[in-house]
């Protein structure tokens, strides 16, 4: 596929950025859901990880992983 003009390149970059933002937002929502569903009993590994993700903005990445209950 050969890009013929700048508008096509801009469109591809724009959709790529939009897709990455959407994946980050979905991951952040998943992080919140994981945190709410934690059992809050020892060990507190998952609660700490998801809590850090929520309050630092890393939840967009951490929400895609399962650290247990």
Is there a domain that residue 37 lies in? Answer: yes
Is there a domain that residue 14 lies in? Answer: no
pLDDT at 52: 93
Is there a domain that residue 17 lies in? Answer: no
pLDDT range class, residue 3, cuts 50, 70, 90: low
Q: Tokens 């469109």: give the residue.
A: 11
Is there a domain that residue 12 lies in? Answer: no
Domain span at residue 39 reads: 25-69
Largest CA distance in the chain: 59
- In tens, the pLDDT along 14-64 reads 999 999 999 999 999 999 999 999 888 888 899 999 999 999 989 999 999
pLDDT at 1: 59
Q: Tokens 């890393």: give the residue.
A: 58
Q: DSSP character for 23?
A: H
Rg of the Cα atoms in the chain: 17
Q: How many domains does the chain have?
A: 1
pLDDT at 53: 93
Length of the chain equals 69
pLDDT at 2: 65
Is there a domain that residue 56 lies in? Answer: yes
């Amino acid at each position: 596929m050969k890009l013929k003009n700048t508008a096509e390149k801009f469109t591809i970059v724009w959709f790529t950025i939009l897709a990455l933002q959407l994946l980050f937002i979905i991951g952040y929502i998943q992080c919140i859901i994981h945190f709410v569903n934690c059992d809050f009993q020892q060990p507190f590994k998952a609660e700490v990880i998801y809590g850090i993700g929520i309050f630092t903005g890393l939840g967009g990445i951490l929400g895609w992983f399962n650290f247990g209950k």
